[in-house]
Structure 1
């Protein structure tokens, strides 16, 4: 698989899971193992599926925009803008950085991430994107 293929697959995987079909995302894009580094998500594919199923239930109208992707060796990084609409009508915006490691078959086998809520005020005029 090429670096471009890995970038496209990382985006497709994340988008499919984020938009409500994490089980199909795992079936299509994940290899024989799945190592999870997010402390809020259980290790393995079932932990990933459970997390995204819960997110779909709690935030059914959430959206994601893929701002950029970077690939090097067996790693892909995604920089996203996420908007979550809460049950009380509030809107929360987040910037995320996700890193995926691919195996030699082009399947995702490891994940790291960092998420930060976008503040209403900033000490500088720059966006988080």
Structure 2
């Protein structure tokens, strides 16, 4: 399995299938989280599942993989009251997600965009 496939499988099983056993399968035991609102480790992921909307959806568009890094540019619904665009950066170690960084921005609809372009690659 490529690192890109690993990330897609991990995110799908945890966030769409709501399978919290995916944490042990796909996230390194010393997982480091760089989002300042979340704690590192498996506990941080378990805590996150309890606060997400039941209909949470992570829809990746552009995905880049280089060596041990996977970067996704995604549309997320259910993270908060409005859809957000997220750039997630994952570092893979020993076949598991070892580190995560993200940049989050509220989605601006095409109708309100100064350039008339969507913020995602799939809309």
TM-score (norm 2): 0.84
CA distance, structure 2, for counterparts of residue 22 and residue 79 of structure 1: 23
Aligned pair 1:102/2:99, yes or no? Answer: no
Backbone CA RMSD of aligned residues: 2.0
Consecutive unaligned residues in structure 1, runs of 5 or more: none
CA distance, structure 2, for counterparts of residue 7 and residue 74 of structure 1: 10
Aligned residues: 118
- Equivalent residues of 1:20, 1:52 under 8 A apart: no
1:11-65 CA-partner distances (Å, limit 9, x unpaired)? 111122222536322111122310000011111110121112221xxx1122221
Aligned pair 1:128/2:122, yes or no? Answer: no
CA distance, structure 1, for counterparts of residue 68 and residue 15 of structure 2: 23
- In the TM superposition, what is the alpha-carbon distance from 1:80 to its structure 2 partner? 1.1
Residue 21 of structure 2: SS of its match in structure 1? helix
Give the 3 Å change call, closer, same or farther, for CA 99–22 of structure 1 in structure 2. farther
TM-score (norm 1): 0.80
User: What residue number does 1:67 align with?
Assistant: 61
Aligned pair 1:26/2:26, yes or no? Answer: no
User: What residue number does 1:11 align with?
Assistant: 8
The correspondence for 1:82, drawn from 63, 68, 76, is: 76
CA distance, structure 2, for counterparts of residue 108 and residue 62 of structure 1: 21
Give the 3 Å change call, closer, same or farther, for CA 85–11 of structure 1 in structure 2. closer
Give the 3 Å change call, closer, same or farther, for CA 117–28 of structure 1 in structure 2. same
- In the TM superposition, what is the alpha-carbon distance from 1:68 to its structure 2 partner? 2.1
Aligned pair 1:39/2:65, yes or no? Answer: no
- In the TM superposition, what is the alpha-carbon distance from 1:85 to its structure 2 partner? 8.8
